[in-house]
Structure 1
Amino acid sequence: MLIILLTLSAIFFFIIILLTESIGGYSIIKTLYSEDFLSALKISLLTSTISILISTPPALLVSYVLARSGGRISMITESLISIPYSMTPVALGGLILLFLTQTWIGRTLDSLFSFVFNINGIILVQSILAFSTMVTPMRAVFESIDIGYEEFSRSLGHKWLSTFVNIVLPMARRGILSSIALGFLKAFSDFGATIMIAGMIIGRTATLPATIYVEIGSGNIDIAYALILILMIISLIINMFIRSIRGEVL
């Protein structure tokens, strides 16, 4: 499946090179080897991966508890968790920045972990976005699993954790992977919230979306177009991966 995804993405990539006369294949290939692009891609992939590793365990736990509890409290809790996902990114970033700079708890955390204008700030923002994105689809996956399997497992003497790891997670595997991919895509593509916290320091805190903004602002339109196409291809790969998990792509 991975080979098919990569092959289709490569075909899509070269078709765009051939059809887009305003950019030209040379500009795209040149951009692929540019220091700014490689740095931005490295930062984006690194921070998104770390963010997913941080946010996935609590997202799994919270979504499972919400799925099995139900009721008004569960609905309100999920609605609150979904706020970062549904908020305007700049507003979310501004809210986090105000928390880190205007409250003693935030200032203490920032002094310990250096979030503002630092790569750690990108990870913080992306972790919040990924967590908020993953909870709702994960909850739906857990709700689709018959609770009878868990009750039967516990009747055989298995503890909650053993039942969750050996019964629930394998049955929810496809949905969980799909949710994680969505969370990764949300973290990877964020721009507004990220620049509010970490800024756009090329080579240090500039992610791929931020680099596109910088290049457009600098008048480097060809490079910006090339970066946009590359970001489109990465998004295409992730979306096709999600659909393949759901069984929509053979």
Structure 2
Amino acid sequence: MTPLELQALWLSLQVAATATALTLPVALLLALALARGRWPGKALLEAAVNLPLVLPPVVIGYALLLGFGRQGPLGRWLHEWLGVSFVFSFRGAVLAAAVMALPLMVRAVRQALEAVDRGLEDAARTLGASRLDAFASVTLPLAAPGLLSGAVLGFAASLGEFGATITFVSNVPGQTQTLPLAIYSALQSADGEAAALRLVACSVLLALAALALAQWSHRRVAGWLGQR
């Protein structure tokens, strides 16, 4: 692989890892609210969380551009007061990947939380544990396989993100050009077919490795918890 291709690979791994790490706590809170909450507006929140699954990624990227661009309400404020800019930057690529991966992570974590027997939490409460202690010591460990699967699934989805990223932060080598964008650039070049094939092969191997890791880690953690 050429240095530019290796750069795209390394950037993809960085973007995916950062997006997953930042999104997992948010996914956990949203999954908890959707799995356990009983409050007005829950259906609206669920629809908003799942919106990236049904909208074209280009629409999500354009919405991010409107909100976080230099002229957007959030983007202007962040740039003027904090000196933080998302357009044409690594952090913008992370944000686009995080938004697109969030619904998948929330679904995996929510299913794991809903599978936990609430009676175990109630038993912990009767023994003197607070609601937070019961969640941390009972619910969270039992839901760990789903959390891990959600994280790996989010990582894999971030690796393959294209539409929202190129719309929001463009295709800048070394800054926002991840593997999918590098493949796109190679296909636009007259002699880029060989480079595109190398990058496609790399993407397939990474995706297969991520999915295999998700399956293996799920079984391993479930075995540790005695859930098999």
Q: For residue 114 of structure 1, report the CA deviation from its aligned partner.
A: 1.1
Which residue identity is paired with 1:169? L
Partner residue of 2:7 out of 23, 39, 45: 39
Question: 2-side partners of 1:124 and 1:117: how far apart?
Answer: 12
Match for residue 19 of structure 1? none
Which residue identity is paired with 1:152? A
Match for residue 232 of structure 1? 204
Indicate yes or no: 2:75 matched with 1:103. no
Q: For residue 246 of structure 1, report the CA deviation from its aligned partner.
A: 4.4
- Show structure 1 runs of 5+ residues with no match: 1-30
Percentage of matched positions with identical amino acids: 31
Q: For residue 85 of structure 1, report the CA deviation from its aligned partner.
A: 2.9
Question: 2-side partners of 1:80 and 1:35: how far apart?
Answer: 40
TM-score, normalised on structure 1?
Answer: 0.80
Match for residue 135 of structure 1? 106
Match for residue 172 of structure 1? 143
Q: Point out 4+ residue stretches in structure 1 off by more than 6 angstroms.
A: none
Conservation of the 8 A alpha-carbon contact between 1:122 and 1:198: yes
Per-residue Cα deviation, 1:47-66 (whole angstroms, up to 9, x for no partner):
11111111111211220121
Distance 1:109 1:86, change over 3 A: farther
Query: Which secondary structure state, in structure 1, belongs to the residue aligned with residue 87 of structure 2?
Result: coil
Which residue identity is paired with 2:44? I
Conservation of the 8 A alpha-carbon contact between 1:113 and 1:120: no
Match for residue 222 of structure 1? 194
Which residue identity is paired with 1:66? L
How big is the alpha-carbon RMSD for the aligned residues of Structure 1 and Structure 2?
Answer: 1.9
Question: 2-side partners of 1:59 and 1:122: how far apart?
Answer: 19
Partner residue of 2:26 out of 42, 49, 58: 58
Conservation of the 8 A alpha-carbon contact between 2:109 and 2:146: yes
Q: How many equivalent residue pairs?
A: 216
Superposed, 1:1-250 pairs within 5 Å as: 31=1, 34-70=2-38, 73-101=41-69, 102-111=71-80, 112-219=83-190, 220-247=192-219
Question: 2-side partners of 1:139 and 1:75: how far apart?
Answer: 15
- Show structure 2 runs of 5+ residues with no match: 221-228
Which residue identity is paired with 1:239? L
Conservation of the 8 A alpha-carbon contact between 1:110 and 1:116: no
